[in-house]
Structure 1
């Protein structure tokens, strides 16, 4: 068994997931870093991150899996347990944005988002529930999005909004169910956040920068801004915070 806490981070090849990994690796954590959509670029990015963290002394393993495949979530949790003998925290960050207008969206457009995000979160959280409860201080943090809260003309992400809103509802229900076992469940709700070169983009870099003018702080968040909040929620000081959706959007959704 490894020392410290074991954390599974999904969608860790870039962006917020990678930033969370960099933030918590130095605190005695062992990490299982996940990515989906196995491409040469993602393999390089995930392995480069893992090697950097290993060079700093963190035990790190990597895994690729697509959560719209039946059984994938359970398999990833099983890999964490097989490699580290325990699981203390889950950061459910994997996801994607879809700007398809509702009038142009086929039923499969919505189903794809629900499978890949809402259903994937449900499968991961329920698969991880028993291992997280064993330590008495388990943590689940799901990454939601402002798109489930802000419905402005020209900024709509209809099917993504539905999927992320479902994650938030599940997180609140899970917080009630898991609370007596010492497991907290929260959502972090980022606003516009800068993307890494290997990250999925639904908007151009220029369009993203234009959105800074619509944000009270007049800036786009960096992935590490979000990672700082996630790291806090994973820690002992957040033991009384559960069932919350905490916005980190520069005031975008005020």
Structure 2
């Protein structure tokens, strides 16, 4: 398919639910091509991703989907390769896939730490490295990574040892990429959400945990995925072309202290 068919080609990892799904639905439009990634290839994962893809297609976007475990060697490069093969270009990359795992340092094992680094900063580095030639030739080159408040707020009663370390490393890589790609007018930024509601809201089983999470933030509420998606969409837009190398918090004030 000719690159002239699209105004932009966007890769979104972790697009099957939550922030990634909300972003895909927000930016879907005619002359926009979306490569939507999800990790699992099970029936539930495929069903969720297919629903997101259908919603985006209904808004006029051209959509392709891909299942890959970013912890596996070569998976990030495969996503970029498939995007370039399918659409002939890659203008914008959103590294949203990741996870938060409560775990103390005392309970941390080497395998868990390695997996966290492979899925988050490791995959980000591989995605950007493989996508750099395409990004450098794009008139709308943008990269956005999704971090977390856990890289900035440390509490003994809510430990995220591996996730916090991985997200902190991710933010460092964002700044390195921003410095290296600035000469080509490619911006690289990071958003750091706080507690964010899941697809269908908190379940009755963990309602008390969600209530506690809301109370932890000065604004006393949980973010909606669409709110975080709106910030990412802005960073992908032309109006944000002078913003790069930033970590922008959207956490209801959690990172204040």
Q: TM-score, normalised by structure 1?
A: 0.95
64, 69, 91: which one aligns with 2:67: 64
- Contact 1:14–1:198 (CA<8 Å) still a contact in 2? no
> Per-residue CA shift, 1:19-50, capped at 9, x if unaligned?
00011013642100000022110100001110
For residue 189 of structure 1, give the secondary structure of its aligned residue in structure 2.
Answer: strand
The answer on whether the counterparts of 1:41 and 1:198 sit within 8 Å (CA) in structure 2 is: no
Moved beyond 4 Å, runs of 4+: none
CA contact (8 A) 2:108 2:161 kept: no
Question: Relative to structure 2, which stretch is displaced further, 176-185 or 148-157?
Answer: 148-157
Cα distance change, pair 98–204 in 1 and its aligned pair in 2 (3 A) = same
Offset at residue 118 of structure 1 (A)? 1.1
CA contact (8 A) 1:136 1:181 kept: no
Instruction: Name the count of aligned residue pairs.
Output: 252
Which residue of structure 2 lines up, in the alignment, with residue 251 of structure 1?
Answer: 253
User: Deviations for 1:49-105, whole angstroms, at most 9, x for unmatched residues?
Assistant: 101211221101100011111111111101111111100000000001111211111
Tell me whether 1:217 sits opposite 2:219 in the alignment: yes
Instruction: Decide which of 42, 47, 67 is 1:44's aligned counterpart.
Output: 47
- Residue 118 of structure 2 is matched in structure 1 by 115
Q: Which runs of 5+ in 2 are unaligned?
A: none
- Inter-partner Cα distance in structure 1 for 2:201 and 2:213: 21
Name the structure 1 match of 2:94: 91
1:142 aligns with: 145
RMSD of the TM alignment (CA)? 1.7
Secondary structure in structure 2 of the residue aligned to 1:104: coil
* Inter-CA distance 205–117: structure 2 relative to 1 (3 Å threshold): farther
Which residue of the partner structure matches residue 158 of structure 2?
155
Distance 2:17 2:206 in 1: 17
1:230 corresponds in structure 2 to: 232
Unaligned runs of 5+ in 1: none
Partner of 1:165: 168
How far residue 224 of structure 1 moved from its aligned partner, in angstroms, is 0.4
Q: 1:25 corresponds to which residue?
A: 28
